[in-house]
Amino acid sequence: MNATLTSYLGGRWVAGTGEGADVADAVTGEHLHMVSSEGLDLSGAVSYARQVGGRGLSSLTFPQRAALVKATAAALMERKQELYDLSAQAGATRSDAKVDVDGGFGTAMVYAGLGKRGLPDGTVIVEDDPIQLGKEGLFLGQHVLTSRRGLALQINAFNFPVWGMLEKLAPALLAGVPTIVKPATPTAYIAQHAVRIIVDAEVLPEGALQIVCGSIPGLFDLLGGQDSVGFTGSAETAAKLRGDAAVTRRSARFNAEADSVNSSILGPDAGVGTPEFDLFVSALVTEMTVKAGQKCTAIRRAFVPEPHLDEVTDAITARLADVVVGAPGAEGVTMGALVGLAQRDDVRRKVTQLGAHAATVYGDTHTVDVVGADAERGAFMSPVLLRADDPDVGAVHEVEAFGPVSTLMPYTSAGQVVQLAARGEGSLVGSVVTYDDDFAREVVLGIASHHGRVLVLDRDSAPESTGHGTPMPQLVHGGPGRAGGGQEEAGLRAVFDHLQRTAVQSSPGRLQQILGPR
Using the rule CB under 6 A, is 189 a contact of ligand NAP?
A: no
Give the DSSP H or E segment for 189: helix 188-201
Residues 321, 362: Cα–Cα separation, whole Å: 8
Give the DSSP H or E segment for 163: helix 163-175
Residues 186, 20: Cα–Cα separation, whole Å: 12
CA angle, residues 335, 339, 344, in degrees to nearest 5: 85
Strands 299-305 and 262-266: parallel
Amino acid in the structure at residue 149: R
By CB under 6 A, name the one of 157, 285, 292, 433 that touches ligand NAP: 157
Minimum CB–partner distance for residue 361 and ligand NAP (Å): 24
Using the rule CB under 6 A, is 427 a contact of ligand NAP?
A: no
Using the rule CB under 6 A, is 416 a contact of ligand NAP?
A: no
Minimum CB–partner distance for residue 420 and ligand NAP (Å): 20
By CB under 6 A, name the one of 194, 428, 490, 499 that touches ligand NAP: 428
Q: What string of H, E and C letters represents the secondary structure of 405-437?
A: EEEEEEECCHHHHHHHHHCCCCEEEEEEECCCH
The contacts of residue 47 (CB under 8 Å, 6+ apart) are none
Using the rule CB under 6 A, is 351 a contact of ligand NAP?
A: no
Q: What string of H, E and C letters represents the secondary structure of 343-409?
A: HHHHHHHHHHHHHCCCEEEECCCCCCCCECCCCCCCCCCCCEEEECCCCCCCHHHHCCCCCCEEEEE
Strands 179-182 and 152-155: parallel
Site string for ligand NAP, 482-511 (x = CB under 6 A): --x---------------------------
Residues 12, 33: Cα–Cα separation, whole Å: 20
Q: Which is nearer to ligand NAP, 240 or 349 (CB)?
A: 240
Using the rule CB under 6 A, is 90 a contact of ligand NAP?
A: no
By CB under 6 A, name the one of 7, 36, 89, 159 that touches ligand NAP: 159
Minimum CB–partner distance for residue 334 and ligand NAP (Å): 22
Minimum CB–partner distance for residue 434 and ligand NAP (Å): 26
Site string for ligand NAP, 103-142 (x = CB under 6 A): ----------------------------------------
Using the rule CB under 6 A, is 184 a contact of ligand NAP?
A: yes
By CB under 6 A, name the one of 185, 210, 264, 434 that touches ligand NAP: 185
Minimum CB–partner distance for residue 296 and ligand NAP (Å): 3
Minimum CB–partner distance for residue 162 and ligand NAP (Å): 13
Minimum CB–partner distance for residue 280 and ligand NAP (Å): 22
Using the rule CB under 6 A, is 99 a contact of ligand NAP?
A: no
Residues 401, 348: Cα–Cα separation, whole Å: 8
By CB under 6 A, name the one of 28, 146, 237, 500 that touches ligand NAP: 237
Using the rule CB under 6 A, is 259 a contact of ligand NAP?
A: yes
By CB under 6 A, name the one of 6, 28, 234, 512 that touches ligand NAP: 234
What would you report as the CA-atom Rg of the chain, rounded to the nearest whole angstrom?
A: 24
Q: Which stretch binds ligand NAP (CB under 6 A): 11-19, 135-143, 156-164, 357-365?
A: 156-164
Using the rule CB under 6 A, is 212 a contact of ligand NAP?
A: no
Give the DSSP H or E segment for 477: strand 476-477
Residues that are catalytic = 257, 296
Total binding residues for ligand NAP by CB under 6 A? Answer: 25
CB atoms within 10 A of CB 240: 11
Q: Which is nearer to ligand NAP, 87 or 185 (CB)?
A: 185
Q: Which stretch binds ligand NAP (CB under 6 A): 50-58, 257-265, 356-364, 490-498?
A: 257-265
Residues 277, 315: Cα–Cα separation, whole Å: 9
The contacts of residue 97 (CB under 8 Å, 6+ apart) are 83, 84, 87, 88, 328
Residues 54, 369: Cα–Cα separation, whole Å: 52
Using the rule CB under 6 A, is 37 a contact of ligand NAP?
A: no
Residues that bind ligand NAP (CB under 6 A): 155-159, 182, 184-185, 215-216, 232-234, 237, 240-241, 257-260, 296, 400, 402, 428, 484
